[in-house]
A and B are shown apart, each in its own frame.
Chain A
Amino acid sequence: MAPPKLSEIVADIPSLRGVFITAMPDCLLYEAWTRSEESWGTEDVASYFGDLVRANREGLKALKSWSAEMQITIESADLLLVLRELRSDFVVAFAFQREVPLGMVRLHTKRALDRLGALLPAVEAEARPRGARIVAFLQKYAPDPHAVLQRVALQTGITVDTLHRPEALDQGQVALLESAVKDVLGLQTLSI
């Protein structure tokens, strides 16, 4: 029997505005469903949620409080968001209307998650070179992204042309890159 489609699993959940499934570790959109009236940029949303869950996981690990069952709940002005890791290779984000009771949200997400497992393929995480992942992270989060590779070039001495091919960076260059990216983003560590 063919696996169910995402829309078949979630469309009938009351007050649900959208679902985003992000493939990890690259934070790429795997699949999304939103109601027709929503105008969200699903690629961007999926990518940021992936990073959020990863940062949360690292933070909890630092606090020695992480477990695979962790779930993030965000109550914004008009949304109630639930983010959950599904296996180690996907993150699922549910966006509900803000006024839905939390208990109902938990019930619906649990039921949906049970069925979503059948929808998702077994993914062999692609071993992207660390340099490539760092550059992708930088370009996503740096202020003034149009100029950021030039900034890193200046800090590291690695030419911009070389930085455009980050998968080819050697170990020493990756270390320089990582140091520069931490400086540009004001971070002590990169959770990549």
Chain B
Amino acid sequence: MPATPSPRSYLPEHDLMFFGGVPAVYHCHHFNLFLDQTIDDAIGPQAGAALRFTAARAASHDLLAGLAARAGTSTPIERLALAQDTFARMGHGRLGVTADARGGEAIGEWLHYGFAWREKYGSVVRRTRPADAFAAGFAAAAVEVAFGLPRETMDAAEIECIATKGARCRFTLTPGAAPPAVPSVGEAEVRAQLRPSFPGREEQAIAKIAAGLRDFTAGVAGDAHGLVPAFGVLVTMHLAGYYNRICCDAVRQVEARAPQVVGAIETLLRESGHVCVFNTFGGILLSPEWEGLVGPPDSDPAQIVVGCLGIARALGFGHWTLGELAPGERLVVRTPSSYESVYSLARYGKLPRPNEYFLQGASLAIAQLAHRVDWKSRPQLTPEVYAALFQGGELPWKAEQTESSSCGHPRSEVVVTRVA
């Protein structure tokens, strides 16, 4: 079998990442679980799972078709093996697909979503619905690509899941009818939407951190279970098209069906970014790798903010820059483009209001990390520490997106201010 390629690349000056020519980012299990949950809350569990599966299958098809072509695979067995290896390298667990063009089955072991859900929530909530729509979509796409089937013509259903106390995750794969096509947003479409880049304050320091972290993450891949436990979280390399499609479609459906609660889905999408950045960026700042690269974090908010912006670039979120920082009062984050805005522009054109919810929640979390964590005490970022951020109700900081390239502005800007 040909060796699995490592085709990760970044757009210079924009810090947007691609994997096999497909937009990609790194995200943690906190983000992945909360986002999937929000989609299901917004449009219902069945429609939510269907949307997540469809989005996963479409984005995975683009990825696997690109990787198969680059690797020069010539047989279905090679292409299935490449898909399974890629899945594990991306930190999504172990997926064994046994199928032909008429379908078959897939077995998942240590699947990122099901395993992470069980670990995070399994002792608190009884789950009755499977958790691995992404793996289902990936498995279906793997069969499509392996056997040269038209995209989005293989269905998958998860019939056993560890999140619902199954012994493992199992999927059936059956041919189906292709849904109405949603155009892919690949590298060419992303490039067409870029705004001119610009530097911000502390540019050199941020760029240096981003470069160092990129070198480090280049070698990161799934362990024996196909998982990436790092920095206190489970990390995945993920497909931006998946995230963007489920977010955009769910928001649009809520706008149409229940406009009175659009604010609720926007709050929850922001929260998915907030919980992600607080835990993942915080975990990176506390890691030995960070200490080797930058030094131990101290209580200077500017140092924390600079570090976080460097991390964001390394993870493929975009060319996040420091616009302003008045410690204890105000933080302004700006970027010419984000992984959210380029997708939105490519698919919908200019929107009437900002929709970079991850950027909003992440900026808010950066302010929390900079001002509400005692770094010198080397804290453990436990669920209790996270919950304590909300003691007394609302956070003492708020984020407002004042500009968005999704709306045709020349840049995106989030202003985070202290409330009390």
A-side interface residues toward B, CB under 8 Å?
141, 143-147, 150-151, 153-155, 157-160, 183-187
Q: Out of A145, A154, A157, A187, name the residue touching B126 (CB < 8 Å).
A: A187
Please tell me if the beta carbons of A155 and B390 are within 8 angstroms of each other in the complex: no
Is residue B125 contacting chain A, with contact meaning CB distance below 8 A?
yes
Q: Out of B127, B254, B267, name the residue touching A186 (CB < 8 Å).
A: B127
Is residue B46 contacting chain A, with contact meaning CB distance below 8 A?
no
Interface centre among A145, A146, A154 (most CB of B within 10 A): A154
Give CA–CA (A154, B267) in the complex, Å.
11
Which B residue's beta carbon lies closest to that of A147?
B271
Give the chain A neighbours of B41 by CB distance below 8 A: 151, 154-155
Please tell me if the beta carbons of A146 and B390 are within 8 angstroms of each other in the complex: yes
Is residue B385 contacting chain A, with contact meaning CB distance below 8 A?
no
Q: How far is the CB of B165 from chain A (nearest CB, A)?
A: 11
Give the chain B neighbours of A184 by CB distance below 8 A: 125
Q: Out of A145, A150, A159, A187, name the residue touching B268 (CB < 8 Å).
A: A150
Please tell me if the beta carbons of B261 and A186 are within 8 angstroms of each other in the complex: no
B-side interface residues toward A, CB under 8 Å?
34, 37-38, 41-42, 45, 120-121, 124-128, 254, 257-258, 260-261, 263-265, 267-268, 271, 275, 387, 390
Q: Out of A154, A183, A186, name the residue touching B265 (CB < 8 Å).
A: A154
Please tell me if the beta carbons of A154 and B387 are within 8 angstroms of each other in the complex: no
Give CA–CA (A146, B260) in the complex, Å.
20
Please tell me if the beta carbons of A154 and B261 are within 8 angstroms of each other in the complex: yes
Q: Can you identify 26 A-B contacts, CB atoms within 8 angstroms?
A: A141-B124, A143-B120, A143-B125, A144-B34, A144-B275, A147-B267, A147-B268, A150-B271, A151-B37, A151-B41, A151-B264, A151-B268, A154-B41, A154-B42, A154-B265, A157-B258, A158-B261, A159-B260, A159-B263, A159-B264, A160-B261, A160-B263, A160-B264, A184-B125, A186-B127, A187-B126
Give the chain A neighbours of B125 by CB distance below 8 A: 143, 184-186
Give the chain A neighbours of B37 by CB distance below 8 A: 151
Give CA–CA (A155, B258) in the complex, Å.
10
Q: How far is the CB of B209 from chain A (nearest CB, A)?
A: 30
Please tell me if the beta carbons of B121 and A159 are within 8 angstroms of each other in the complex: no
Q: How far is the CB of B157 from chain A (nearest CB, A)?
A: 21
Give the chain A neighbours of B265 by CB distance below 8 A: 150, 154
Q: How far is the CB of A154 from chain B (nearest CB, A)?
A: 4
Q: Out of A146, A155, A159, A186, name the residue touching B128 (CB < 8 Å).
A: A186
Give the chain A neighbours of B390 by CB distance below 8 A: 145-146
Query: Inter-chain contact count A-B, CB under 8 Å?
Result: 58
Give CA–CA (A157, B121) in the complex, Å.
25
Give the chain A neighbours of B275 by CB distance below 8 A: 144
Which 5 A-B pairs rank lowest in CB-CB distance, beginning with the nearest?
A186-B126, A146-B390, A153-B264, A186-B125, A150-B264
Please tell me if the beta carbons of B254 and A143 are within 8 angstroms of each other in the complex: no
Give the chain A neighbours of B264 by CB distance below 8 A: 150-151, 153-154, 159-160
Interface residues of chain A: helix, strand, loop or mixed (majority): helix
Please tell me if the beta carbons of B387 and A150 are within 8 angstroms of each other in the complex: no
Please tell me if the beta carbons of A150 and B267 are within 8 angstroms of each other in the complex: yes
Q: Provided the pairs A146-B390, A150-B268 are in contact, do residues A159 and B261 lie with their beta carbons within 8 angstroms?
A: yes
Which A residue's beta carbon lies closest to that of B39?
A154
Interface centre among A141, A153, A187 (most CB of B within 10 A): A153
Q: How far is the CB of B259 from chain A (nearest CB, A)?
A: 10
Q: How far is the CB of A151 from chain B (nearest CB, A)?
A: 5
Please tell me if the beta carbons of A154 and B128 are within 8 angstroms of each other in the complex: no
Give the chain A neighbours of B387 by CB distance below 8 A: 145-146
Q: Provided the pairs A146-B390, A147-B268, A150-B268 are in contact, do residues A157 and B124 lie with their beta carbons within 8 angstroms?
A: no
Please tell me if the beta carbons of B126 and A143 are within 8 angstroms of each other in the complex: no
Interface centre among A147, A153, A160 (most CB of B within 10 A): A147
Please tell me if the beta carbons of B268 and A157 are within 8 angstroms of each other in the complex: no
Interface centre among A141, A145, A186 (most CB of B within 10 A): A186
Give the chain B neighbours of A141 by CB distance below 8 A: 124
Give CA–CA (A158, B34) in the complex, Å.
21
Give CA–CA (A141, B121) in the complex, Å.
12
Give the chain A neighbours of B38 by CB distance below 8 A: 151, 154
Q: How far is the CB of A35 from chain B (nearest CB, A)?
A: 25
Give the chain B neighbours of A144 by CB distance below 8 A: 34, 271, 275
Give CA–CA (A160, B38) in the complex, Å.
15
Q: Provided the pairs A143-B125, A186-B128 are in contact, do residues A154 and B260 lie with their beta carbons within 8 angstroms?
A: no
